[in-house]
Amino acid sequence: MKILVCISHVPDTTSKINFTDGDSKFDTNGVNFVINPNDEFGLTRAMWFKEKQGASVDVVNVGSAQTEPTLRKALAIGADNAIRVDTPATDGFQVAKQLAKVAKEGEYDLIIAGRESIDYNGGMVPGMLAAILDANFVNNCISLEIEGDKATAIREIDGGKETLTASLPLVIGGQKGLVEESDLKIPNMRGIMQARKKPLNVVAAEEVSTQTEAVKFEKPAPKGDVKLVDPENLDELIDLLHNEAKAI
Amino acid sequence: MSVLVYTETEDGKFKKAAFEVASYAKEVAGGDEVVAVSFNAADTSELGQYGVSKVLNIQNDKLSKFNAEAYADALKQAAEKEGSKIVVVSQSANSKYLAPLLAVHLNAGYASNVMAAPESTDPFTVKRSAFTNKAFNFTKITTDVKIVGLSQNAFGLRENQGDAIVEDFSPELKDGDFSVNVESVDKAKDKVTIADAEIVVSGGRGLKGPENWGMIEEMADILGAATACSKPVSDMGWRPHSEHVGQTGKPVASNLYIAVGISGAIQHLAGINAAKTKVVINNDPEAPFFKAADYGVVGDAFEIVPKLNEKLKEFKAKNA
C-alpha cells in the first residue's frame, strides 16, 4: 500500500497572530512552525500502517522552501520520502490541485490529510482533492482500518459517529482519534539523523488559477475585562446572563 | 439569479441551521429567489417563514442516510437546474463534508466559516473566522458560482413571512455516488449535541473525577444544554472523547459556554472562542480562562454549582 500524507506547515498554537503589509499577510516574524496537528494524527496512523502492514509513506507539502524543516520533521517521525511542491499556498483549491498532481503521479492508494489546518481553518483541501481525483472521501475520520483494497472508517458526526466502508483509493480528512495524543512520536536522534539523508524532492508547481483571494485580515476587538460575581450572590450572575448577555 | 440553500434535516425535521442558511440566503438574494433543497423532509412549509420562495423537495429512500457524494451530486443538479450563482450551506459536520465536493463539481469557489452577510457582493467578499477565531479573514470569491459555508449562530434567524412553492425534485443518482457506503450510524437520541446547542456546560480537571459530573449534567438538563469537557478530562477517560472541545476536539459556537473547573489552556480557548458569552467558575483567580471570559465566579465549584443549579431552576420556573 502506498500512502501519501499531506502536511500543512502551520504556526504553533501559542503563536502571536499578527498581520503585515496593510493587514494582508500573516506576520511570520518570530513564529514557530509545526506540522498541523490534524495532519500529525494522520501521519502517526500512517506509521502504524507502515509498521504493521508494510505500507510505504510519503509526505507532501505545497509551499516555499521555508516549509522544509516541517517536512524534515515528518521524515524524522518515519516517513520514507518527502515532496515539496514549489509554490506558495494561496487558496484551498490551488493547494488541492497541486496535491492532486502529486497524488496522480505517485499512484497512491491512501491519501491522508487533516480535517483542517489550524491556521486558516478552511477544511476544504481533503474534499477538493478527493473530488479532483475522483477518489472516495471520508471527512472527520477518527478511525481507519485497511484490509486489502477495502477501508473501514469511522467518521465523527454531530452528536455521534458513523461507520463507513469504501474501496481504495481513498482520501481522508483525519483528526484526533485516528491515533491518540499519547501515540504521537517525538523524533529521536536516530530519526533526525536519518531524516537528513532521506529524499526531499522539490517539484515544480502546475499553473493553477485560484478561486478565492484573502483580501485582508482583522483581529477581533479586544475583549473587555471579565465581570466577577461574588459566589454569595449568584442571583447577579443569572441577572447578567438574562438581561445583559441575553444568553438564558 | 437565485440563491440555493442546503436545508439540513434530521429524522425528517429541519435543523436550526437550515433556517439560518435560509435567512442568510434571503439577505444575499435581495429580491431574487431563494431555492431550498430538502432531503426527505416530512413537511417543508416552515421554510417559507425564513425567506425560501421555492423548495426542491427530494423524497428518495436511497438518500435516507446522509451520504456526502450523493447529496453533493443532488445539490449540483439543483444548482444547475436553477441557474444558482450562490449556494449557502451550514458548517455542520455534514455540510463541511459535502461542500468541498460540491465546489469541485460546480467549479465554484468556496469560503468556509463565514461570519456575516457579505461585505460586498461585487466583488463578492465575505468575512470568515481564521486562526481558530483569533482573526478574521476577508475573502473574495472570484468564480462565477460561489459557495458560502455559514458558521452556526453567526447570522441568526430572520423571520420572513411567506409561502414557498414546493416542487418535486428527483436528481439522477449514479452508482458512484454511493461508493462510500454508510454501514451504521451511532447517535445518541434525545441529547443536545455540542454542534446544535444554544448553551454548552463544560467541566475540567477541577472537578476531580468522573463521579462528580452529576452537577454538570444537572445544569445542562436545567438549561437544555449540551455537556462538554476539556482535553485532559477526555484523555483520562472521565468523559467520552466526543465531549472534548478545543483545538483538536470539537469547536463550540454556542450562545453561552459555561466552564467549570477548566483553567483555560490556549488550545481549549482556541476551540471555544466563537461562543458568544463565556462564563468561568474556578477557584484559581489566576486561571487564564478569566482573561477570556465575560463573567467569572472565583470559588469552589462544589459549593457554587449546586447553588447555581437551584437558582437556575427557580429562574427557569419563573421564566418558563
How do the domains of chain B map onto residue ranges? 2-178, 199-318
Taking a C-beta distance cutoff of 8 angstroms, is the pair A10, A33 a contact?
Answer: yes
The CATH classification number of B2-178 equals 3.40.50.620
Residues of chain B with pLDDT under 70: none
In this prediction, residue B226 carries a pLDDT of 96
CB contact under 8 A, A228 and B297: yes
What does DSSP assign to residue B212?
G
In this prediction, residue A38 carries a pLDDT of 97
- Domain B199-318 class? alpha beta
Reading chain A (248 residues) residue by residue, the pLDDT tens digits are 999 999 999 999 889 999 999 999 999 999 999 999 999 999 999 999 999 999 999 999 999 999 999 999 999 999 999 999 999 999 999 999 999 999 999 999 999 999 999 999 999 999 999 999 999 999 999 999 999 999 999 999 998 999 999 999 999 999 999 999 899 989 999 999 999 999 999 999 999 999 999 999 999 988 889 999 999 999 999 999 999 999 99
Chain A residues in contact with B293 by the CB 8 A cut-off are: 226
Cα(A232)–Cα(A201) distance, integer angstroms: 65
CB contact under 8 A, B101 and A127: yes
How do the domains of chain A map onto residue ranges? 2-217
| Reported pTM | 0.94
In this prediction, residue B190 carries a pLDDT of 75
In this prediction, residue A188 carries a pLDDT of 93
| b/e per residue A113-128 (b: at least 16 CB within 10 A) | bbbbbbbbbbbbbbbb
Q: Which of A212, A232, A233 to mutate to test the interface with B (most CBs of B within 10 A)?
A: A212
What does DSSP assign to residue B63?
G
CB contact under 8 A, B131 and A120: yes
Chain A residues in contact with B185 by the CB 8 A cut-off are: 157, 160-163
* DSSP letter for each residue of B255-308: SEEEEES----HHHHHHHTT-SEEEEEES-TT-THHHH-SEEEES-HHHHHHHH
In this prediction, residue B1 carries a pLDDT of 81
In this prediction, residue A130 carries a pLDDT of 98
In this prediction, residue A247 carries a pLDDT of 94
In this prediction, residue B196 carries a pLDDT of 87
Chain B window 265-284: which residues touch A at a Cβ cutoff of 8 Å?
266-267, 270, 276-277, 279-280
Cis peptide leading into residue A126 (ω within 30°): no
For residue B318, which of A236, A229, A242 has the smallest C-alpha distance?
A242
Query: Are domains B2-178 and B199-318 of this chain identical in fold?
Result: yes
In this prediction, residue B132 carries a pLDDT of 87
Q: Which of B135, B185, B256 minimises the CB distance to A218?
A: B135
The CATH classification number of A2-217 equals 3.40.50.620
CB contact under 8 A, B184 and A162: yes
Reported ipTM: 0.96
Per residue, what are the HEC states of A52-117?
HHCCEEEEEEEECHHHHHHHHHHHHHCCCEEEEEECCCCCHHHHHHHHHHHHHHHCCCEEEEECCC
Chain A residues in contact with B187 by the CB 8 A cut-off are: 157, 159-161
Taking a C-beta distance cutoff of 8 angstroms, is the pair B55, B166 a contact?
Answer: yes
